[in-house]
Amino acid sequence: MTPPILTTERLTLRGLSLADAPAFARFFASDHSAFYGGPIHAEESWRKLSMYAGHWTLRGYGPWALTLTETGETIGMVGPWYPDGWPEPEITYFLLEEHGGKGYATEAVRASLDWCFAKGWTRVMSAVAEANTPSIRIVERLGATDEGMTIIPPDRAMRIYRYPRPHAQKTGTAA
């Protein structure tokens, strides 16, 4: 499946491509990637890029390249993700460190959630490491609730944050 292109006020979410390899290599070479299994070498980051891009073929959905609409610069990745062994589909995301703190991740995750719910998903979560306080702030800002700890392959303890369905956000009722 060809990924659709989503746009927000400042961002374009488009299918991953080889053009994103340098951004992946920069992210995964940095200590900032520790919650994503890094730091790792550029060759391994290329494999991760391929894996995420292939998710669209295998599942019919997957992460997008997160780009600045104004410049086209790739600043991260965001989108639905459900690898084998995961408890359920989730929204995964990362940003290059220099683009953090500007609201881009919140804006991108919101666009991903809107897409998932529009496609008929009834449950959406993100798995977040307990020490990843920037990500915890993002999911909480989007109304996600902490459902406790689980083990994500290959044996990483993660906290599950459940996002409310859009109608639950409007009425204030539980999802």
- CA 26 to mean position of chain CA atoms: 17
CATH topology of domain 6-123: Aminopeptidase (3.40.630)
CB 175 within 8 Å of CB 162: yes
- The dihedral through the CA atoms of 162, 166, 168, 171 has a sign that is positive
What's the mean pLDDT in 144-164? 95
Is 161 a residue whose pLDDT tops 70?
yes
Query: Averaged over 74-101, what is the pLDDT?
Result: 96
**Averaged pLDDT of the chain:** 94
pLDDT tens digits, one per residue of 106-123: 999 999 999 999 999 999
| Contact (CB, 8 A) for 64 and 16 | yes
Res 154 pLDDT > 70: yes
Q: What tens digit of pLDDT does each residue of 49-80 get?
A: 999 999 999 999 999 999 999 999 999 999 99
The percentage of residues in the chain with a pLDDT greater than 70, rounded to a whole number, is 95
Listed residue (91, 59, 87) closest to 78, CA to CA: 91
